[in-house]
Structure 1
């Protein structure tokens, strides 16, 4: 029953966004996405960072994030090699999209609200460190490098470094660490917390709006394999290893939830920018977002 209570707002907000995405002009999700990227998500980071407990082994989160990215890439590359020997029809753009879908997770727009809903704001710091120092750097660093290699275009390192440097979430993270020490009246704290949750709700609505625009269901077998690597195998292997380092309970669950997120929308942006297999990226996004409802109870049962 508690799982259903937590699912209700998550599914309801995404479904609302899906309906709105069908009704509203196509440029509305673009404007909402820009607002969340430049202002909304940074504000929510400031708000929930004030509630987070950073006294534990917070450094574990980005370390696990990079291990998950590398393990996903290794498994995906192994699968490409095995299947290519039996059925050699993998183009280089398809290989690139497959690798991106198996490595880069939606730990910001989707991982934040999922972690807050199932674990609470006290452990938000683990999700934050996982996303900003792991997934974000992985997407615009290693992810772009892979896309440039498999897309056949030259790597522009200046653009990659610029995209990382101007990321407002990273700046908000740095500012938020100092803002934690500022005492505010209870009324202001309450208003900020409500604003943070409103931004979380808007992010879930945006996910639904973007999913409403995805109409490609080709390459389902390949997308399913990449999702199996990203959302099942990697979290199971690394999540089970956390106990050996004393990372258990809500802390371990917060990290596992981030690991098990479906592919990020950044994978589609990168695929389009570097001429990879857009249809495979779209299919992985759509199937992964829906499959999350099935995989979440698994991780709650194993690691809660």
Structure 2
């Protein structure tokens, strides 16, 4: 237990330090800096990280369970959000919600930050042997759900022009998906040791840079008055869904650390994609930014909960 607590404390120090550095750097740098860093990570950093780490990760046929779990988690979150909006929320919301706010609420309840946050956190807590589960959950589950089901929701609730084709092309051109396919296909090809060392250095550097980027994004605060709705969205996304998922996974034959990996990914706070989609489809951007910010801060409290409830002797 002490070693696991030490790992969690070490993760908090690294993660908190990266967020703090990004938060401090944001006012000192040009406004375009987060955008440039985000593009660098999107086109180079994350794909190289996948190539570096996946070369040393065992892949099995059971990995296809991960995206199925991701889709199940998103569907359950969407169902809970729909119930709240159409039934329970009527008792707590003094004024009717407009469509853009409903759209952002459902997106924030459904789509998690399983990439920039999920990768480093799960990697640090469960190890590289489970990277395949982390990647398949994110790329084939959460990413496709964001720009698939998420876009369908945005076109229904948004006031903007329906632009399905550009986002569909963005999904097809996603370099992370291509990197996953290439990494799997060349996994058995030996690389010179020097190349492996360089790739791993780039991978770890990209993880650190992604945490700093999140700190910069947290500096772009934009809070709304409807705190009750934000709280409800985060309760669905970060408490109810992972709790029900964890109980369900206990009934399967998956190993303890595999279950914990999937639970941690499902418990990640709302993703950057919710803000991107909100901007493109004229949803409630302030709501998206608020849930992203508060959800990231809430993760510090919820992480120990999942470790306490669902970790096994493999971890402790």
**Counterpart residue number, 1:39:** 44
Q: Report the CA distance between 1:39 and its aligned residue.
A: 0.9
CA offsets 1:240-296 (integer angstroms, 9 cap, x no match): 111212123111111111100000011011111111111111110110000000000
Work out the CA distance in 2 between the residues paired with 1:92 and 1:215: 20
**Counterpart residue number, 1:127:** 134
**Counterpart residue number, 2:60:** 55
Is 1:242–1:248's contact at 8 Å kept on the other side of the alignment?
no
Gaps of 5+ in 2: 312-316
Work out the CA distance in 2 between the residues paired with 1:39 and 1:293: 28
Work out the CA distance in 1 between the residues paired with 2:190 and 2:47: 19
Gaps of 5+ in 1: none
Q: Report the CA distance between 1:84 and its aligned residue.
A: 4.7
Structure 1 segments, 4+ long, off by >6 Å, are none
Work out the CA distance in 2 between the residues paired with 1:154 and 1:190: 47
Q: Report the CA distance between 1:159 and its aligned residue.
A: 2.1
TM-align CA RMSD? 1.4
Mapped pair 1:242 → 2:249: yes
CA offsets 1:190-248 (integer angstroms, 9 cap, x no match): 33212211110001111101111123253222111101000110001012111212123
Q: Report the CA distance between 1:48 and its aligned residue.
A: 1.1
After alignment, is 240-249 or 186-195 more displaced?
186-195
Determine helix, strand or coil for the equivalent of 1:90: coil
**CA pair 46-31 structure 1, distance change in 2 beyond 3 A:** same
Q: Report the CA distance between 1:85 and its aligned residue.
A: 3.4
TM-score (norm: length of structure 2):
0.93
Work out the CA distance in 2 between the residues paired with 1:80 and 1:5: 39
Matches within 5 A, 1:10-21: 10-21=15-26
Work out the CA distance in 1 between the residues paired with 2:89 and 2:120: 38
Work out the CA distance in 2 between the residues paired with 1:298 and 1:88: 34
Is 2:223–2:286's contact at 8 Å kept on the other side of the alignment?
yes
Q: Report the CA distance between 1:57 and its aligned residue.
A: 1.7
Work out the CA distance in 2 between the residues paired with 1:212 and 1:88: 30
1:90 pairs with one of 94, 97, 100: 97
**Counterpart residue number, 2:229:** 222
Mapped pair 1:6 → 2:11: yes
TM-score (norm: length of structure 1):
0.96
Determine helix, strand or coil for the equivalent of 2:251: helix
Work out the CA distance in 2 between the residues paired with 1:38 and 1:188: 20
After alignment, is 184-193 or 75-84 more displaced?
184-193
2:154 pairs with one of 128, 147, 158: 147
**Counterpart residue number, 1:23:** 28
**Counterpart residue number, 1:271:** 278
**CA pair 218-50 structure 1, distance change in 2 beyond 3 A:** farther
